[in-house]
Chain A
Amino acid sequence: MSKLKDVETPYLKKRKPFAVGDEVNVGVVITETIEKKGKLEEKERVQLFTGRVIAKNGGGVTETFTVRRIVAGEGVERVFPLHSPKVSHVEVVRSSHVRRAKLYYLRDRKGKATRLREKINAPSAANEAATAPDAAATK
C-alpha cells in the first residue's frame, strides 16, 4: 500500500481543516475566455461558492466534500475533490454543532428548519481563520 501512497502524496494538499456543518467559501478556479483588442484571451480567476458542508466522502486523493446552498429558492449542491488544483481554498465562515457525519436531512427541509446550532468559541478552523490576519499583523 505504501507504493500507492507514494503516488498519491505529491497530489495531496494541506488545507485548513473544516468540518461537516461548517459554512464555507470555496474558491473555484475557472477559466474565462475574454475578448481583448479583438483577440481571445484565456484568463483564470477565482469564483466563490458559498454554502454549507453537508458531507465528506472518501480518502486520499479522491476525498471529496459536498457543499449545499440555496440559489433563487432552488437547492444547489456541488461536490468538490478536496485536493483538486481547481479548488484554490476553503474558508470557514462559521461552524455548527452537528451530531451526524452526513447532513442529508437538510435536503428535505427549507427555511428556518435548516438552521443548525452555531458553535461559538469553538476551537475550530473558524476561529483560526478569524485570528489568522491578526497573527499575520503581529509578524
Chain B
Amino acid sequence: MSVNALIGRKVGMTSIFDATGSMLGVSVIELGPNQVVARRTIVRDGYEAVALGFGKRKPSRVGKPQLMALKKSGIEIAPQVVSEVEIADGADPQVGEMVSVADVFQVGAVVDVVGTSLGKGFAGVHKRHHHDLGPKSHGTKNIREHKSTGSNTHPSRRWPGTSMAGHMGAVRRTVRNLTVVGIDAERGIMLVNGPVPGCASGVLLVRRTRAKHATKPAGK
C-alpha cells in the first residue's frame, strides 16, 4: 500500500452473485497498473504526493516539457493520463515504481470513484433540474417549458443561480462509499458495488474513501 488511489478505466457494468447467493450490480473497472512518474516532496513542493501515470500515449502526442520531464525520470513510455494522488501513511514510493490494483485495495475496502459523467447536451429544466411538467391537456402549450424565473419590476434582473435549461453532464463527479466486492490481480480488474460516473472506457480515479461516515464493508 504505497498510494491511496489509482487511475483506471471503466469497462462496464454487470451482475455477480455474492456468498449468500444474492445478486449484486457491479461496475467493472480496469484499474492500473500505474507507474509513479513524479514525486512531490515537502522540501521542494510544500506537500507530499506522487503523480501516477496510466495507459500509454505516442511520444509525438505529448507536450515537450512533459516528455522531457518523463525522460529525465527515466520513464520511456509516456502515460495517457497523469494524476497526482496521496501517499499512504509511512510509504515512500519511488519514481518508476509500478503499482497494481492488488497493492492498494482489498476486497471489502470502501472507495470513492471520480470520473466524468455522461454528457446530456443542452437539456431542458425537467431533465436538468427535475422541474414538474406543465399540464398536458386543455389546450396548454407549456408542457416542457420552464415556469416563472423570478419577479419583474423588482429586482429587474434574474437572480444568479436560477434554474434554467442549459448544458448538462460531462463534468467531474465523485461517487462515494462504494464497496469493493472483487479484485482480479491477474487481470488488474476491480469490481465495486454500484454505478460509477461516465461511459465505458472513461477514465476513473479510485481512491480510499474520504466520506466522513463511510459505510462498513458489506458482508463479513
Contacts and interface: CB of A to CB of B under 8 A. Distances in A.
Interface of A: 1, 3-4, 6-8, 11, 29, 60-62, 81, 83-86
B211 interface: no
B28 A7 contact: yes
B96 interface: no
A1 to B, nearest CB: 8
Interface stretch (B16-24, B34-42, B105-113, B160-168): B16-24
Q: Is the interface of B mostly helix, strand, loop or mixed?
A: strand
B154 to A, nearest CB: 56
B12 interface: yes
A90 to B, nearest CB: 16
Given A3-B187, A3-B189, A84-B23, A8 B17 contact: no
B15 A4 contact: no
Given A3-B187, A29-B21, A86-B21, A11 B16 contact: yes
A7 B21 CA distance: 16
A8 B14 contact: yes
B11 interface: yes
Nearest to B9: A3
Interface of B: 11-12, 14-17, 21, 23, 26, 28, 30, 182, 184, 187, 189, 191
Contacts of B182: 7
Q: Is the interface of A mostly helix, strand, loop or mixed?
A: helix
B187 A84 contact: no
Contact of A62 (B15, B21, B187, B189): B15
A11 B187 CA distance: 17
Given A4-B14, A8-B14, A60-B14, 15 more contacts: A3-B189, A4-B12, A6-B184, A7-B11, A7-B28, A8-B16, A61-B16, A61-B17, A62-B14, A62-B15, A62-B23, A83-B17, A84-B21, A85-B17, A86-B21
A62 B16 CA distance: 8
B15 to A, nearest CB: 5
B21 A85 contact: yes
Contact of B28 (A4, A85, A86): A4
A11 to B, nearest CB: 6
B180 to A, nearest CB: 14
A3 B9 CA distance: 12
A84 B20 CA distance: 10
Nearest to A6: B187
B24 to A, nearest CB: 10
Given A7-B189, A61-B16, A81 B28 contact: no
Which 4 residue pairs spanning A and B have beta carbons closest together?
Answer: A86-B21, A85-B21, A3-B11, A61-B15
Given A7-B28, A85-B21, A61 B14 contact: yes
